[in-house]
Amino acid sequence: MQIERSEIRVFHAVIEAGGFRRAAERLAITQSAVSQAVANLEHKLGTPLVKRTAPPQLTESGLRLMRYAETVLNEEASTLRDIDRIRSGELSTLSLALSGAVNFAWGRELMLEYCHRNPFTRLRLDVAPSREIVYGVGEDRWEVGFGPFQHRMPGHFTVLDCFPETRRLVIGRAHPQAAAVRADPAAHLAQLPLITSWLDDPGRRPGGGRLRDAFASVWEVGNTELRLALVAEGRGVAYVSDLLLAGHPGAADLVALEGVDAASVERRVGLYWKTHRPLSEGARRFVQLCRERWPAREAEASRCV
Q: Give the model's confidence band at 300: pLDDT under 50 very low, under 70 low, under 90 confident, else very high.
A: very low
- Sequence ranges of the domains in the chain: 5-88, 93-162+273-300, 165-266
More confident residue, 190 or 286: 286
SS3 83: helix
Average pLDDT in the 206-218 region? 69
Element (H, E) at 20: helix 20-27
Check residue 197 and give its pLDDT: 84
Average pLDDT in the 7-17 region? 94
Check residue 189 and give its pLDDT: 87
User: Range with the lowest mean pLDDT among 71-85, 93-107, 214-228, 278-292?
Assistant: 71-85
Average pLDDT in the 92-99 region? 93
Does position 303 have pLDDT exceeding 50, yes or no? no
Q: What is the DSSP letter of 205?
A: S
Check residue 133 and give its pLDDT: 95
Check residue 89 and give its pLDDT: 57
Long-range contacts, stretch 112-120, CB < 8 angstroms, 24+ apart: 113/289, 114/285, 114/286, 114/289, 117/285, 117/289, 118/89, 118/92, 118/94, 118/282, 118/285, 119/89, 120/85, 120/88, 120/89, 120/90, 120/91, 120/92
Beta carbons of 168 and 240 less than 8 angstroms apart:
yes
Q: What is the CATH number of domain 5-88?
A: 1.10.10.10
Which CATH code of 3.40.190.10, 3.40.50.10170, 3.40.50.970, 3.40.50.1100 fits the domain covering 93-162+273-300?
Answer: 3.40.190.10
- Give the pLDDT confidence of 15-47 residue by residue, as tens digits: 999 999 999 999 999 999 999 999 999 999 999
Q: Give the model's confidence band at 88: pLDDT under 50 very low, under 70 low, under 90 confident, else very high.
A: low
The rounded mean pLDDT for the chain is 87
More confident residue, 213 or 185: 185
Does position 86 have pLDDT exceeding 80, yes or no? no
Beta carbons of 164 and 170 less than 8 angstroms apart:
no
SS3 157: strand
Give residue 110's identity as a one-letter amino acid code. L
- Give the pLDDT confidence of 149-173 residue by residue, as tens digits: 988 899 999 999 999 999 999 999 9
- Give the pLDDT confidence of 262-276 residue by residue, as tens digits: 788 899 999 999 999
Does position 205 have pLDDT exceeding 60, yes or no? no
- Topology agreement, domain 5-88 and domain 165-266: no
Q: What is the CATH number of domain 165-266?
A: 3.40.190.290
- Give the pLDDT confidence of 224-276 residue by residue, as tens digits: 889 999 999 999 999 999 999 988 888 889 999 988 877 888 999 999 999 99
Check residue 302 and give its pLDDT: 40
